[in-house]
C-alpha cells in the first residue's frame, strides 16, 4: 500500500493532524519534518533518487483495532499502530507510545527516526515504532493491562526477537513491557524475554536501562563540552518534560555539576535561578502528580521555560516544541534533544543562524536504544552484565558516535543534525546497495 493511501502523503496527513506536538497551525507535522530532514541529508550526500524514494516510505504499516472490556462492563475500541520504516541493517526496533494524540503519521516519523538513530550509533537494527491512541492516565491498572495484552496480540505477527523488538516510549513503562513479553510468551508456549526491551530486571531486563536514554544524552553533552574545552561545573540547564528522559536527565545533569534551574511537565513548570533539587522535585511529582506546584521555585509556563536563559536546554517531552514561532527566543547555547523531533526544520535553521548548537535527537537520545540493544544481546545469551559494564559500554558507544558526527560536521562545515543524518542515511543506503533489491 502506498503512503498516500495511508494518509502519509506529504500534505494530507500533516501537522496538526493531532500529534501531541506544540506546533503552530500550518506548521509541518512530524512526518513532513522527518521527510524534510531526509531530503536535506540525501541531497548533501548525493544519494541516488531511487534509494531516496524507498527511504521516503515506511516499509510496512499495521493499523489495528483494540477492543477492551472496561471496568464498568462496557467495551471501548482503541486504535493502534506498528510501523516498520527500514530493515536493511537488522531487525526492527522502536518504542510503543500511549498518548491521546498519537497518529499513524507521527508513529511513521518516529519509526524513520529510529532507522537513523540505530545507524548513527552503529547498532544492527532497523527502525520501527508503535502507538495506541489512548490517555493511559484515564485507565485503571486492569484496563491498561487488558489494552496492552490485546494490542500485543494484534501486533503479534509483526513482533519477535528476530523480527521486531518493542520498547517503552511516552506513556508506557517496564510494566507494560512485562505484559507484552508475557502475552507473546503465552502465545508461543515458552518464555521469550528478547521480544521486548525495557523490561523489569526480574524477567530479563538490563541493569541501567531505565536511566539509559538520559545517561546517553549526558554522555553526549559531556563529550561535546570536552571537545569545546569547557567544564560542566556550574553550567545551567533547563528541562522540558519530567518523565523517564527528563526526570533522569535532571538527576544525572545535577550529579555532573550542572545547576538545573527549571523543569516542566504537561501541567506547567517551576523555575529557580539558584537551582532546583531534582530528587526533591521527583518526590513532589510522585505526591502531587506534577512538578508545577513544587514549592522550591516560581511557576513558569511551558512557553516561558523554553525561552529561559541557560547554558543547556533539554527538550524531553514531545515533537515540534521548538518551532518557527519561538526559535528566535531560545536563549540556551546548547539544545540537547532528549525528545524525538522536538525541533522543526524551520527552527533548526533559525537556531543554526543564531549560533545555537543542537545536539540532535538521533544522536543525543540514542542511549535508550543502545542499552535496549545490550538488553537484547544479554537475553539472547542468557548472560547478564553488571550496571557498571552496561554504563561503560554505553559511554563508549555515545562518545564514539559523537566524535564521528563531530568529525563529519567539521569536515563538511555542517551543523550536527545534518552531519548525523548524513552519516546515518549513508550507512542505511550502503546496506541497501549491498543487499540489492529483492527479487
Ligand atoms: P514519559 O511519558 O516518561 O514522559 C513524558 C513527559 O513529558 C511527562 O513528564 C509529560 O508530562 C511531559 N510532557 C508532555 N507534554 C508536555 C508539554 N507540552 N510540555 C512539557 N512537558 C510535557 O516519556 P519519555 O519516555 O520520557 O519520552 C520523552 C521523549 O523522549 C519522547 O519524545 C520520546 O520519544 C523520547 N525518547 C524516549 C526514550 C525512552 O527510552 N523512554 C528513548 C528515546 C527518546
- The per-residue pLDDT for range 238-293, each reduced to its tens digit, is 999 999 999 999 999 999 999 999 999 999 999 999 999 999 999 999 999 999 99
- Helix ranges (H only) for 289-386 are 302-306, 345-353, 361-364, 367-381
- pTM to 2 decimal places: 0.95
Residue with CA closest to ligand 1 atom 22:
266
Positions marked catalytic = 129
Which of these ranges, 25-29, 327-331, 353-357, has the smallest mean pLDDT? 25-29
Alpha carbons 108 and 176: distance in angstroms, whole number: 21
Q: Does the beta carbon of 248 sit less than 6 angstroms from any atom of ligand 1?
A: no
Do the bridges between strand 236-240 and strand 312-315 make them parallel or antiparallel, or are there none, so unpaired?
A: parallel
User: Which of the four pLDDT bands, split at 50, 70 and 90, describes residue 9?
Assistant: low
End-to-end Cα, the chain, rounded Å: 18
16 has a pLDDT exceeding 70? no
pLDDT per residue over 188-225, tens digit each? Answer: 999 999 999 999 999 999 999 999 999 999 999 999 99
pLDDT per residue over 237-249, tens digit each? Answer: 999 999 999 999 9
Q: Does the beta carbon of 322 sit less than 6 angstroms from any atom of ligand 1?
A: no
Main-chain phi, psi angles of 271, to 5 degrees: -135, 130
Residue with CA closest to ligand 1 atom 34:
340
SS3 417: helix
Residues ≥6 apart with Cβ < 8 Å to 327: 343, 346, 347, 348, 350, 351, 354
Alpha carbons 244 and 33: distance in angstroms, whole number: 24
Q: Does the beta carbon of 168 sit less than 6 angstroms from any atom of ligand 1?
A: yes
Query: Over pLDDT 90: what percentage of the chain?
Result: 94
Tally of CA atoms within 13 A in the half-sphere of 100 that contains its CB: 5
> Is 105:17 a contact under the CB 8 Å cutoff?
yes
SS3 172: coil
pLDDT of residue 27: 64
pLDDT of residue 7: 54
22 has a pLDDT exceeding 70? no
pLDDT of residue 109: 98
- Helix ranges (H only) for 320-415 are 345-353, 361-364, 367-381, 387-412
Question: In terms of pLDDT, which residue wins out, 311 or 19?
Answer: 311
Q: Does the beta carbon of 338 sit less than 6 angstroms from any atom of ligand 1?
A: yes
What separation in Å is there between the alpha carbon of 226 and the centre of ligand 1?
27
pLDDT of residue 1: 38
Question: In terms of pLDDT, which residue wins out, 15 or 384?
Answer: 384
What separation in Å is there between the alpha carbon of 340 and the centre of ligand 1?
9
SS3 25: coil
Averaged over 421-437, what is the pLDDT? 98
Mean per-residue pLDDT of the chain = 94
What separation in Å is there between the alpha carbon of 438 and the centre of ligand 1?
38
Residue with CA closest to ligand 1 atom 3:
243
Ligand 1: which of 125, 241, 249, 299 to mutate, judged by most atoms within 8 Å of the beta carbon? 241
Alpha carbons 255 and 277: distance in angstroms, whole number: 10
- Helix ranges (H only) for 121-155 are 141-154
Alpha carbons 424 and 369: distance in angstroms, whole number: 15
Alpha carbons 221 and 337: distance in angstroms, whole number: 10
Residue with CA closest to ligand 1 atom 8:
243
Averaged over 371-379, what is the pLDDT? 98
Alpha carbons 135 and 399: distance in angstroms, whole number: 36
pLDDT of residue 28: 78
Ligand 1: which of 318, 322, 344, 364 to mutate, judged by most atoms within 8 Å of the beta carbon? 318
Measured CA distances, 164 to 7, 84, 90, 194 (Å): 23, 8, 9, 10
433 has a pLDDT exceeding 80? yes
47 has a pLDDT exceeding 80? yes
**Of 39, 21, 42, 38, nearest in space to 30 by CA:** 21
pLDDT of residue 184: 98
Alpha carbons 209 and 376: distance in angstroms, whole number: 11
User: Which of the four pLDDT bands, split at 50, 70 and 90, describes residue 107?
Assistant: very high
370 has a pLDDT exceeding 80? yes
**Of 75, 70, 113, 69, nearest in space to 93 by CA:** 113
What separation in Å is there between the alpha carbon of 190 and the centre of ligand 1?
33
pLDDT per residue over 111-155, tens digit each? Answer: 999 999 999 999 999 999 999 999 999 999 999 999 999 999 999
Q: Does the beta carbon of 220 sit less than 6 angstroms from any atom of ligand 1?
A: no
What separation in Å is there between the alpha carbon of 339 and the centre of ligand 1?
6
> Is 155:184 a contact under the CB 8 Å cutoff?
no
**Of 360, 341, 338, nearest in space to 409 by CA:** 360
User: Which of the four pLDDT bands, split at 50, 70 and 90, describes residue 20?
Assistant: very low
Amino acid at each position: 500500500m502506498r503512503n498516500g493511501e495511508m494518509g502519509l502523503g506529504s500534505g494530507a496527513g500533516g501537522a496538526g493532524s493531532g500529534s501531541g506536538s506544540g506546533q503552530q497551525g500550518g506548521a509541518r507535522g512530524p512526518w513532513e519534518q522527518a521527510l524534510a530532514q531526509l531530503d536535506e541529508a540525501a541531497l548533501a550526500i548525493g544519494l541516488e533518487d531511487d534509494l531516496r524514494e524507498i527511504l521516503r516510505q515506511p516499509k510496512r504499516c499495521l493499523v489495528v483495532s483494540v477492543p477492551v472490556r472496561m471496568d464498568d462492563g462496557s467495551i471501548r475500541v482503541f486504535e493502534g499502530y506498528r510501523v516498520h520504516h527500514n530493515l536493511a541493517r537488522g531487525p526492527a526496533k522502536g518504542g510503543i507510545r500511549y498518548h491521546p494524540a498519537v497518529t499513524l503519521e507521527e508513529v511513521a516519523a518516529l519509526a524513520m527516526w529510529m532507522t537513523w538513530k540505530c545507524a548513527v550509533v552503529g547498532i544492527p537494527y532497523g527502525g520501527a515504532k508503535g502507538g495506541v491512541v489512548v490517555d493511559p492516565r484515564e485507565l485503571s491498572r486492569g484496563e491498561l493491562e487488558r489494552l496492552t495484552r490485546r494490542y500485543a496480540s494484534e501486533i503479534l505477527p509483526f513482533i519477535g526477537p528476530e523480527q521486531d523488538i518493542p520498547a517503552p516510549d511516552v506513556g508506557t513503562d517496564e510494566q507494560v513491557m512485562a505484559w507484552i513479553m508475557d502475552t507473546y510468551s503465552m502465545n508461543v508456549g515458552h518464555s521469550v524475554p528478547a521480544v521486548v526491551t525495557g523490561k523489569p530486571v526480574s524477567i530479563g531486563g538490563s541493569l541501567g536501562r531505565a536511566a539509559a536514554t538520559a545517561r546517553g544524552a549526558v554522555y553526549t553533552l559531556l563529550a561535546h563540552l570536552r571537545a569545546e574545552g569547557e567544564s560542566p561545573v556550574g553550567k545551567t540547564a533547563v528541562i522540558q518534560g519530567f518523565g523517564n528522559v527528563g526526570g533522569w536527565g535532571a538527576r544525572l545533569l545535577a550529579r555532573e555539576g550542572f545547576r538545573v534551574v527549571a523543569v516542566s511537565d504537561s501541567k506547567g513548570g517551576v523555575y529557580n535561578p539558584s537551582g532546583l533539587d531534582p530528587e526533591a522535585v521527583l518526590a513532589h511529582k510522585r505526591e502531587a502528580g506534577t512538578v508545577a506546584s513544587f514549592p522550591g521555585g516560581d511557576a513558569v509556563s511551558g512557553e516561558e521555560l523554553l525561552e529561559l536563559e541557560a547554558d543547556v536546554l533539554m527538550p524531553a517531552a514531545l515533537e515540534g516544541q521548538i518551532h518557527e514561532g519561538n526559535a528566535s527566543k531560545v536563549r540556551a547555547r546548547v539544545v540537547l534533544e532528549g525528545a524525538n523531533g522536538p525541533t522543526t526544520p524551520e527552527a533548526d535553521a533559525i537556531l543554526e543562524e543564531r549560533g545555537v548548537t543542537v545536539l540532535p535527537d538521533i544522536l543525543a537520545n540514542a542511549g535508550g536504544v543502545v542499552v535496549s540493544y545490550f538488553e537484547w544481546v544479554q537475553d539472547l545469551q542468557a548472560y547478564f552484565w553488571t550496571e557498571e559494564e552496561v554504563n561503560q559500554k554505553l559511554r563508549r558507544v555515545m562518545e564514539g558516535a559523537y566524535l564521528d558526527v563531530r568529525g563529519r560536521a567539521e569536515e563538511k562545515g555542517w551543523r550536527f543534525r545534518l552531519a548525523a543524518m548524513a552519516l546515518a542515511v549513508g550507512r542505511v543506503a550502503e546496506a541497501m546497495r549491498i543487499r540489492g533489491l529483492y527479487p
